[in-house]
Amino acid sequence: MCARNTNGWLVGSRVWDRRCGLWLLVLGLLGLAPRVGALPEDGAQPVEIAADRVELDQRAGEARYLGRVVVTQGSLRIEADQVRIRSDANGLKAVEADGDPARYRQLVATEAGGEDQELSGSAARILYQADERTIILEGNAQLRQGGHWFSAGRILFDVGARQLQATADPAQAGTDGRVRLVLPPPQARAP
Protein backbone atom coordinates (compact mmCIF):
# COMPACT_ATOMS: atom_id res chain seq x y z
CA MET A 1 0.00 0.00 0.00
CA CYS A 2 1.10 3.54 -0.60
CA ALA A 3 0.53 6.48 1.70
CA ARG A 4 1.63 10.08 1.86
CA ASN A 5 4.51 10.93 4.14
CA THR A 6 4.80 14.25 5.97
CA ASN A 7 6.22 15.92 2.85
CA GLY A 8 3.25 14.84 0.72
CA TRP A 9 5.18 12.22 -1.27
CA LEU A 10 3.65 8.86 -2.01
CA VAL A 11 5.80 6.25 -0.33
CA GLY A 12 5.64 2.49 -0.05
CA SER A 13 5.51 0.49 3.15
CA ARG A 14 9.31 0.14 3.20
CA VAL A 15 11.42 2.59 5.12
CA TRP A 16 12.91 5.34 2.92
CA ASP A 17 16.44 4.35 2.01
CA ARG A 18 19.06 7.08 2.50
CA ARG A 19 20.61 6.10 -0.82
CA CYS A 20 17.47 7.33 -2.60
CA GLY A 21 17.89 10.69 -0.89
CA LEU A 22 21.46 10.74 -2.19
CA TRP A 23 20.18 10.19 -5.74
CA LEU A 24 17.85 13.16 -5.37
CA LEU A 25 20.75 15.25 -4.14
CA VAL A 26 22.84 14.15 -7.13
CA LEU A 27 19.98 15.08 -9.48
CA GLY A 28 19.62 18.46 -7.86
CA LEU A 29 23.33 19.16 -8.10
CA LEU A 30 23.39 18.12 -11.74
CA GLY A 31 20.40 20.27 -12.50
CA LEU A 32 18.32 17.47 -14.04
CA ALA A 33 15.31 17.61 -11.74
CA PRO A 34 14.88 21.38 -11.41
CA ARG A 35 15.40 22.23 -15.09
CA VAL A 36 12.22 20.86 -16.61
CA GLY A 37 8.47 21.38 -16.61
CA ALA A 38 5.70 20.20 -18.93
CA LEU A 39 4.84 22.56 -21.75
CA PRO A 40 2.16 24.90 -20.40
CA GLU A 41 0.02 24.57 -23.52
CA ASP A 42 -0.32 20.76 -23.13
CA GLY A 43 -3.05 21.06 -20.49
CA ALA A 44 -5.15 23.28 -22.75
CA GLN A 45 -5.13 20.76 -25.61
CA PRO A 46 -7.87 18.16 -26.19
CA VAL A 47 -7.31 14.58 -25.00
CA GLU A 48 -7.38 12.07 -27.88
CA ILE A 49 -7.64 8.31 -27.33
CA ALA A 50 -7.40 5.47 -29.83
CA ALA A 51 -7.93 1.80 -28.92
CA ASP A 52 -9.32 -1.48 -30.24
CA ARG A 53 -12.14 -1.51 -27.67
CA VAL A 54 -13.66 0.78 -25.02
CA GLU A 55 -15.85 0.21 -21.94
CA LEU A 56 -17.47 3.36 -20.48
CA ASP A 57 -19.04 3.98 -17.07
CA GLN A 58 -20.39 7.53 -17.23
CA ARG A 59 -21.74 7.51 -13.66
CA ALA A 60 -18.32 6.68 -12.24
CA GLY A 61 -16.54 8.94 -14.71
CA GLU A 62 -14.32 6.07 -15.83
CA ALA A 63 -13.45 4.54 -19.16
CA ARG A 64 -11.37 1.46 -19.88
CA TYR A 65 -9.59 1.20 -23.22
CA LEU A 66 -8.19 -2.11 -24.42
CA GLY A 67 -5.79 -3.09 -27.19
CA ARG A 68 -3.05 -0.91 -28.69
CA VAL A 69 -4.13 2.15 -26.71
CA VAL A 70 -2.67 5.58 -27.51
CA VAL A 71 -3.53 8.63 -25.38
CA THR A 72 -2.35 12.08 -26.50
CA GLN A 73 -2.77 15.59 -25.12
CA GLY A 74 -0.52 18.20 -26.72
CA SER A 75 3.00 16.75 -26.57
CA LEU A 76 1.96 14.11 -23.97
CA ARG A 77 1.72 10.58 -25.40
CA ILE A 78 1.00 7.36 -23.51
CA GLU A 79 0.98 3.96 -25.25
CA ALA A 80 -0.20 0.79 -23.49
CA ASP A 81 -2.05 -2.50 -23.79
CA GLN A 82 -4.80 -1.27 -21.44
CA VAL A 83 -5.68 2.19 -20.10
CA ARG A 84 -8.16 3.37 -17.47
CA ILE A 85 -9.10 7.03 -17.59
CA ARG A 86 -10.88 8.94 -14.85
CA SER A 87 -12.49 12.29 -15.58
CA ASP A 88 -15.15 14.65 -14.27
CA ALA A 89 -16.92 17.77 -15.50
CA ASN A 90 -13.62 19.67 -15.26
CA GLY A 91 -11.80 17.24 -17.56
CA LEU A 92 -9.08 14.61 -17.26
CA LYS A 93 -8.18 13.48 -13.72
CA ALA A 94 -5.94 10.43 -14.17
CA VAL A 95 -4.63 7.97 -16.72
CA GLU A 96 -3.57 4.51 -15.53
CA ALA A 97 -1.74 2.56 -18.23
CA ASP A 98 -0.63 -1.09 -18.10
CA GLY A 99 1.57 -2.70 -20.71
CA ASP A 100 4.53 -4.85 -21.51
CA PRO A 101 5.79 -2.16 -21.17
CA ALA A 102 3.58 0.92 -21.13
CA ARG A 103 5.34 3.97 -22.59
CA TYR A 104 5.22 7.69 -21.82
CA ARG A 105 6.74 10.70 -23.53
CA GLN A 106 6.26 14.43 -23.33
CA LEU A 107 8.13 17.56 -24.36
CA VAL A 108 9.31 19.55 -21.38
CA ALA A 109 10.38 23.17 -21.26
CA THR A 110 13.73 24.03 -19.77
CA GLU A 111 14.49 27.06 -17.64
CA ALA A 112 16.02 30.19 -19.15
CA GLY A 113 14.32 29.68 -22.51
CA GLY A 114 16.35 26.62 -23.49
CA GLU A 115 15.18 24.21 -26.16
CA ASP A 116 12.30 21.89 -25.30
CA GLN A 117 13.50 18.38 -24.49
CA GLU A 118 11.76 15.04 -24.67
CA LEU A 119 11.15 13.25 -21.39
CA SER A 120 10.33 9.59 -21.98
CA GLY A 121 9.76 6.57 -19.83
CA SER A 122 8.51 3.02 -19.71
CA ALA A 123 7.23 0.66 -17.01
CA ALA A 124 4.77 -2.15 -16.42
CA ARG A 125 2.35 0.51 -15.07
CA ILE A 126 2.25 4.26 -15.60
CA LEU A 127 -0.03 6.54 -13.62
CA TYR A 128 -0.42 10.11 -14.85
CA GLN A 129 -2.30 12.30 -12.34
CA ALA A 130 -3.39 15.44 -14.19
CA ASP A 131 -4.48 17.50 -11.17
CA GLU A 132 -1.29 16.80 -9.21
CA ARG A 133 0.85 16.91 -12.36
CA THR A 134 2.69 13.73 -11.38
CA ILE A 135 3.83 10.71 -13.34
CA ILE A 136 4.42 7.44 -11.48
CA LEU A 137 6.21 4.58 -13.24
CA GLU A 138 6.08 1.19 -11.48
CA GLY A 139 7.64 -2.15 -12.34
CA ASN A 140 10.94 -2.07 -14.21
CA ALA A 141 10.61 1.72 -14.46
CA GLN A 142 12.89 3.72 -16.74
CA LEU A 143 12.96 7.47 -17.30
CA ARG A 144 15.13 9.32 -19.83
CA GLN A 145 15.84 12.94 -20.65
CA GLY A 146 18.66 13.90 -22.95
CA GLY A 147 21.59 11.68 -22.05
CA HIS A 148 20.36 11.16 -18.46
CA TRP A 149 18.76 7.79 -17.72
CA PHE A 150 17.12 6.38 -14.57
CA SER A 151 16.15 2.81 -13.83
CA ALA A 152 14.30 1.75 -10.67
CA GLY A 153 11.44 -0.31 -9.36
CA ARG A 154 9.36 2.85 -8.97
CA ILE A 155 9.88 6.42 -10.17
CA LEU A 156 7.72 9.38 -9.21
CA PHE A 157 8.21 12.59 -11.17
CA ASP A 158 6.36 15.69 -9.94
CA VAL A 159 6.24 17.83 -13.07
CA GLY A 160 4.91 20.93 -11.29
CA ALA A 161 7.42 20.89 -8.43
CA ARG A 162 10.17 19.55 -10.71
CA GLN A 163 11.09 16.81 -8.27
CA LEU A 164 11.92 13.16 -8.83
CA GLN A 165 11.90 10.23 -6.43
CA ALA A 166 13.21 6.77 -7.38
CA THR A 167 12.81 3.71 -5.19
CA ALA A 168 14.65 0.41 -5.53
CA ASP A 169 12.83 -2.90 -5.96
CA PRO A 170 14.92 -5.84 -4.68
CA ALA A 171 12.46 -8.29 -6.28
CA GLN A 172 12.95 -6.86 -9.80
CA ALA A 173 13.92 -9.76 -12.05
CA GLY A 174 17.23 -9.65 -13.90
CA THR A 175 18.76 -6.89 -11.76
CA ASP A 176 20.18 -6.44 -8.31
CA GLY A 177 17.10 -4.29 -7.61
CA ARG A 178 18.95 -1.04 -7.05
CA VAL A 179 18.25 2.42 -8.43
CA ARG A 180 20.50 3.21 -11.39
CA LEU A 181 21.46 6.57 -12.86
CA VAL A 182 23.49 7.11 -16.02
CA LEU A 183 25.01 10.54 -16.59
CA PRO A 184 26.47 11.49 -19.97
CA PRO A 185 30.02 12.82 -20.12
CA PRO A 186 30.31 16.62 -20.31
CA GLN A 187 29.92 17.97 -23.82
CA ALA A 188 33.15 18.98 -25.51
CA ARG A 189 33.30 22.75 -25.50
CA ALA A 190 33.92 24.57 -28.77
CA PRO A 191 37.08 26.72 -28.78
Q: CA–CA separation, 144 vs 79, rounded Å?
A: 16
What is the reported pLDDT for 141?
94
pLDDT given at position 5: 40
Cβ distance 35 to 110 under 8 Å?
A: yes
Q: What is the pLDDT of residue 112?
A: 59
In the chain, alpha helices (H): 18-30
33-84 pLDDT tens trace = 333 455 556 667 788 899 999 999 988 889 999 999 999 888 889 999 999 9
How many C-beta atoms lie closer than 10 Å to residue 176's C-beta?
A: 8
Domains in the chain and their CATH numbers?
Answer: 15-182 (2.60.450.10)
In the predicted model, residues of the chain with pLDDT beneath 50 are 1-36, 188-190
Instruction: Establish whether the linkage from the previous residue to 34 is cis, with ω within 30° of 0.
Output: no
Nearest to 141 by CA among 121, 161, 157: 121
Q: How many residues make up the chain in this entry?
A: 191
